[in-house]
Structure 1
Amino acid sequence: MKRLRSRGLLAALTLVVGAVGAVVIPAQAAHAVAPADHTVFWNDVLLRTYRTVGGAPGPLARAGAMMHAAMWDAANSASCRLGLTANPVQDTCLGKKYLVNVTTVKYAGASAPVESTAIDYAAVTVLRNLYPGLNFDADLATAQQGVGTHNNQKEAVYIGQQAALAMKTARTGDGSADTTPYTEGTVPGAWRNTGSGSAATPNWGAVTPFSMTSGSQFRPQLPLGYASYSTLLASAGYAAQVNEVKSYGSAASTTRTADQTQLAWFWANDLDGTYKPPGQLFAHTTILAQLRGLSPTQTVRLFALVAIAMADAGVASWDAKYRTAIDLWRPESAVRLADTDGNAATVADPAWQPLSATASGVHFSPPFPAYVSGHATFAGAWAGVMQAYLGTDAVTWTATTEDPHAVGVVRTFTSISAAATENALSRIYLGVHYRFDADFGMATGDSVADHVFAHELTQWQQHGGVYSDMPACHGAGTALVSAGTYEEYQCLENANETAVLYVR
C-alpha cells in the first residue's frame, strides 16, 4: 500500500497557534437528545472513562480496541442480516468481521436489526465488563432515546451483546493481567526509578496483540544499532542525543522556543484526569471524521481500525521498552549521571530537571524506559490509519488538549503527518525522550498501521478488468492470494460467461 505520510521528523510543520477558552472536544458524554452518530457518542463515553480510571496508556488503548472492534462486529453483523447471498461480494456486510459475525436469529422475523442499537449494546457491554465499578446506565439511556421494543430492536440488542461476549472471550488470558514485577538494572544506561514510581506495566510488550503476530513483529533496531549499554553510551551519537534533550527539554531551558514549550504541553496528557495519549488521538479522530462528513458506517470502521492500531502500538512500544537488550534510562538519569557513562562529550548536571511536571509543578519522568516513545508510536499508528482511510494527508483542522499546563490552547494542523510529527517531537521538548525514541517510535507505529489496514476489517474491491471466463478469474485470484498481496478473492460470473475478480 502506498503511504502518504511524511517519513521524517524534520518535515515542515504549518501551525496556527492561539489561546481560547472554548474546548473543541466536550468532556461530557451525555447528549441532550439521542446521538446522530453512535460511534462518536460511545467514544466520548470512553474518553470520560479514561479520565476517571487513569493509568498507563497500554491498558487504556486495549480498552478502546475492545470497545470499538466489538462495535464494528455488531454493526457489521446487523448489516449482514439485510442480505446474505451465495457470494460474499454481493452481501450487505460492511466488511470483514473482526472476531464474529452474529448470524443466529434469536427473535423471529427480525430481518433488519437496528444497527445503532447493536453498536450501543456492544459498547456498553464491553465497558461494563472492563469497568464494573462504573455505571453506564445513563449513557445507554441517552443513546437509546426514542427506540421502540420491536423484534428488530431486540435482535440488535442480542447482536451487540454477542459481539461484546466474543471480545471478552478473545481477550481473556491475553497477558494484560500479568503483574510480575520488574527488576531494575544497575549499570549506567539501564532504566531506573527517577522518583515518579516503579516500572509501569513492564509486561505489556508480551500482551497478545489485536492484529500483529506478536509484540516483537515490528521491533525496531536497538538504539543507534548498539547491542550493549557500554557501547551505546560511549558513542558520539549517544552524546548528541543526550545533549539535545538536555538543552531543549530542561525545565530551565533557554534554547526551547515558546512554541516548542507550548506543543510540549499540548501533547503531554501524561497525568491522570486527562484523556491520556490514546484519548487525545481518539479526539482528533472525531474531529476529522466529522470534518470529512463520514457516514455512521464509515465512522464505526474508522474508529475500529484506529483503535486496533493504537492498541497494538502500545504493545509494540512496550516490547521495545522492556523486552530487548537495552531498557534505556530516561534523559533525567542520563544527564544527572553523565559522569558514569564513560563519554567525555556528556557533562553531568545533578540538578537537571525535565520540563514535564505534575499539575502542582513537581517535575517528573514517566515511570518506564525511554526507547521507544509511546507517544510517537501511538502517533505513527494513528497517522498511518487516518491517511490510508481518508486517502490523503492534506487535511486542516484545529484541536485542543486536556493537559493542565495548556488549558485553552488550540493548535491548527494542515496535515495528518504534521500532527503526528509534532506529537513525537513534543517528548524531546518535554525533556522525557531522546530523538531516536521519537524517530523509531513513529516508524514502529507506521508499520503497525500498514499491517492493521491491510489485514483488518477489509472490504471487497474490484481488481483488474473483465476476465475471459471463470477459470481465468480464479487463476488470477489464486496467484494474488498466494503472493500475499490479498487475503482472499471472489469471482463473479457475468451473463456472457466473462468474470470479474474481487479481492480483499
Structure 2
Amino acid sequence: MAALLLWAGWHRPARADWLSDWNQAALVAGRDSGEISPEISRTMAMLSTAIYNSVEGISGNYNLYTQGTYTGPSGSAAPGASIQAATATAAYTVLSGLYQSMEPTFFNLYSNQLSTLGGDPGLASGINFGSLVGNDILNWRSNDGWADASDITLYSPVGSAGHWTESAVDSAQLPGWGNVSTFAISGTAGFSGTLGMTNSAYIATNAYATDYNAVKDIGSATSGTRTQSQTDAALFWHAAQGTTSNVGIWTSIAEGVVTSQNLSLEDSARLYAALNVALADAAIVAVDTKYTEDFWNPEQAIQNGGADGNALTIADPVWAALLGNPEMPSYFAEQGIFAGSAVPILELFAGTNYAFSVSFDTDGDGFPDMTRTFSSLADALLEATYSSVWGGISFEKDALDAAAAGDQIANTVMNNQFAPVPEPAGALLLAIAGMLSFARRRR
C-alpha cells in the first residue's frame, strides 16, 4: 500500500521541450561531422522513432512504429516506467551509438535530464526500456546500406549532353544513398521520378527550353529579374553543407508547432517521428532519382546549351548560378521533395492556416542569421520548392516533380504509421459487459 501511495502521489508533467534538446544535439552532431542532408535525415529518423516507441511502449495510445524486419521493441516496459526516463535513455543510446566521439556531450545532456527525475519510482524501469528501444533501432539500421552510400564506383559518368558531369573526379556525393533501406515507404519504386524519355530526347523539347530560359534569367548569380526576397529565400532553403541542412529548418518549424499548439510529449514525439521518417525517405527517393535520371544541372546546361540540339536554348559559356554547382544531378530537387514531405504532416498538427516565422543559421557559425515569415505552411511549401530555381541549381520540373513526390511520401507515412490504437468496438464492449454480468450471476 505504501508503494501504491508513493506512485499515486508522484506526478511530474511530461514536457514536450524535453525532446527539442535531443533534436538540437543530433542536428549539431551531424553538422559538426560534416554530414549532408540525407545523412542527417537518417540520424533524425532513428532518433525520433526510438523516442516515439519509448513513449508508446509505455502509454500505448498510438501504434508502435514498425518497418520491414523491425517489428517494434524486443521487450516490454515494466508497469509504472517513467516515460521521460525512457525517452532520454533511448535518445542518448541512439546518438552515442551513431557519434561515439561525441558521447560525453550527449551524456551531459542525458544526466542533466535524469537529474530532474530524482524521486520518480519508475526511473530505473524507464531507463531499462529506453536502452532496449534505442539499441533495437541501432541494431536494425546497422546494415541498412548507409555505410556503402559514398562508394564512388556506384556512379559512372555518361559524359554526353543532358547528363550530369562531376566538377572534379570522384566528387559525386552519396551516389549509393538511393540503396539505403527506407523508413516507412516500401521502397523507392513508385516514388522516384522520371523525365519520361531519354535525357537527349528531353533536352530537345519545348518544355525543357521553357525551363532552361526561365532559370537562365532568374537563377543567374547576376540576375536582374530575381527579387531580394527570392535571393534571400534561395540562400535560406539552400541550407548548404556546414549547416544543419534542410532537415534543421523543418525541425525548427516543427518545434514551433509543438510550442504554439501546446503539444504534449506524446503528441510531440509522434509529430517528430512522422516528420523525420518522411524526410529520411524523401532523401532516399531524391538521391535514387538523381543518380538514375542523371540529369545535368542548369549551370552545366546553360554553359553547354549549344550541345543540346535545341534551337530555343542559347548557350552562355560564362553563366553561373547564384548557388553554384552542386555535386549531385539536379532531378529531383532536394528543397522541393523535403518541403512536399514535411508540410502535409505539419498541417495535421497545426492546421492549414498556421502562420509562423522561422530563423536559420545559413552560414553554419551556430547563430541564426536569417528569418523567413509565412502566412501558412502552404506558403512555405511554395517558397521552398521554387527556391532552388531562384538559386539557379534546379529547373522548374526538378522542383515541382520533387514536391509532388514528397506529398506522396507524406501521405504514405501517415496512412501506414503512427495511427491511434483502435478503441474496442461497441459490440465488443457490450459482449464483455455481458460476460461480466453473467459471471456475477453464476457466483
Q: What TM-score, normalized by structure 2, do the two folds share? A: 0.87
Structure-1 residue corresponding to 2:139: 169
One-letter amino acid matched to 1:255: T
How far has the Cα of 1:217 moved from its partner?
Answer: 3.1
Q: 1:314 aligned to 2:315? A: no
The sequence identity of aligned pairs, in percent, is 27
Structure-1 residue corresponding to 2:92: 124
Which aligned pairs between 1:177-192 and structure 2 lie closer than 5 A? 177-178=147-148, 179-181=150-152, 182-192=155-165
Kindly provide the CA deviation profile for residues 443-480 of structure 1, in whole angstroms up to 9, marking residues without a partner as x: 111010001001112113569xx87x56xxxxxxxxxx
Correspondent of 2:396 among 426, 435, 448: 435
How far has the Cα of 1:384 moved from its partner?
Answer: 1.6
Q: Secondary structure at the match of 2:100?
A: coil
Correspondent of 1:45 among 25, 29, 34: 25
Q: Secondary structure at the match of 1:311?
A: helix
Structure-1 residue corresponding to 2:340: 380
Correspondent of 1:403 among 359, 362, 370: 362
How far has the Cα of 1:195 moved from its partner?
Answer: 5.1
Structure-1 residue corresponding to 2:102: 134
Which aligned pairs between 1:436-451 and structure 2 lie closer than 5 A? 436-451=397-412
The separation in 2 between residues aligned to 1:313 and 1:381, in whole angstroms, is: 7
Q: 1:286 aligned to 2:245? A: no
One-letter amino acid matched to 2:30: Y
Task: Give the superposed CA RMSD.
Answer: 2.3
How far has the Cα of 1:196 moved from its partner?
Answer: 10
Structure 1 unpaired stretches of 5+: 1-33, 81-92, 357-363, 471-490, 498-504
- Residues 395 and 340 (structure 1), Cα distance of their counterparts in 2 relative to 1, 3 Å cut: same
Structure 2 contact 75–132 (Cα < 8 Å) conserved: no
Q: 1:63 aligned to 2:43? A: yes
- Residues 454 and 415 (structure 1), Cα distance of their counterparts in 2 relative to 1, 3 Å cut: same
How far has the Cα of 1:52 moved from its partner?
Answer: 1.0
Structure 2 contact 355–374 (Cα < 8 Å) conserved: yes
- Residues 36 and 299 (structure 1), Cα distance of their counterparts in 2 relative to 1, 3 Å cut: closer
Q: Secondary structure at the match of 1:350?
A: coil
Structure 2 contact 257–349 (Cα < 8 Å) conserved: no
Kindly provide the CA deviation profile for residues 30-62 of structure 1, in whole angstroms up to 9, marking residues without a partner as x: xxxx97622112112122223212322111101
Structure-1 residue corresponding to 2:439: none
Structure 2 unpaired stretches of 5+: 1-13, 436-443
How far has the Cα of 1:148 moved from its partner?
Answer: 2.5
Kindly provide the CA deviation profile for residues 415-437 of structure 1, in whole angstroms up to 9, marking residues without a partner as x: 11111111111000111001011
Greater share of residues in helix? 2
Structure 1 contact 102–159 (Cα < 8 Å) conserved: no
Structure 2 contact 362–369 (Cα < 8 Å) conserved: no
Kindly provide the CA deviation profile for residues 289-347 of structure 1, in whole angstroms up to 9, marking residues without a partner as x: 11111111110111011011110011111111112xx3101111000011111111111
How far has the Cα of 1:134 moved from its partner?
Answer: 1.2
One-letter amino acid matched to 1:68: S
The separation in 1 between residues aligned to 2:406 and 2:146, in whole angstroms, is: 20
- Residues 234 and 492 (structure 1), Cα distance of their counterparts in 2 relative to 1, 3 Å cut: farther
One-letter amino acid matched to 2:406: G
How far has the Cα of 1:150 moved from its partner?
Answer: 6.2
The separation in 2 between residues aligned to 1:294 and 1:402, in whole angstroms, is: 26
- Residues 494 and 154 (structure 1), Cα distance of their counterparts in 2 relative to 1, 3 Å cut: closer
The separation in 1 between residues aligned to 2:147 and 2:220, in whole angstroms, is: 36
Q: 1:202 aligned to 2:202? A: no
Structure-2 residue corresponding to 1:502: none
The separation in 2 between residues aligned to 1:420 and 1:46, in whole angstroms, is: 24
Structure-2 residue corresponding to 1:10: none
- Residues 43 and 407 (structure 1), Cα distance of their counterparts in 2 relative to 1, 3 Å cut: closer
Correspondent of 2:375 among 409, 414, 421: 414
Q: Secondary structure at the match of 2:118?
A: coil
Structure 1 contact 35–41 (Cα < 8 Å) conserved: no
The separation in 1 between residues aligned to 2:170 and 2:394, in whole angstroms, is: 17
Q: Secondary structure at the match of 1:424?
A: helix
Structure 1 contact 50–279 (Cα < 8 Å) conserved: no
Structure 1 contact 77–103 (Cα < 8 Å) conserved: no
- Residues 320 and 388 (structure 1), Cα distance of their counterparts in 2 relative to 1, 3 Å cut: same
The separation in 2 between residues aligned to 1:257 and 1:102, in whole angstroms, is: 54
Structure-2 residue corresponding to 1:26: none
- Residues 48 and 180 (structure 1), Cα distance of their counterparts in 2 relative to 1, 3 Å cut: closer
Q: 1:75 aligned to 2:45? A: no
Structure-1 residue corresponding to 2:126: 156
Structure-2 residue corresponding to 1:270: 240
The separation in 2 between residues aligned to 1:242 and 1:386, in whole angstroms, is: 33
Which aligned pairs between 1:89-100 and structure 2 lie closer than 5 A? 93-98=61-66, 99-100=71-72
- Residues 203 and 265 (structure 1), Cα distance of their counterparts in 2 relative to 1, 3 Å cut: same
Structure-2 residue corresponding to 1:259: 229
The separation in 1 between residues aligned to 2:110 and 2:41, in whole angstroms, is: 22
Q: Secondary structure at the match of 2:238?
A: coil
How far has the Cα of 1:95 moved from its partner?
Answer: 3.1
Structure-1 residue corresponding to 2:80: 112
Q: 1:304 aligned to 2:262? A: no
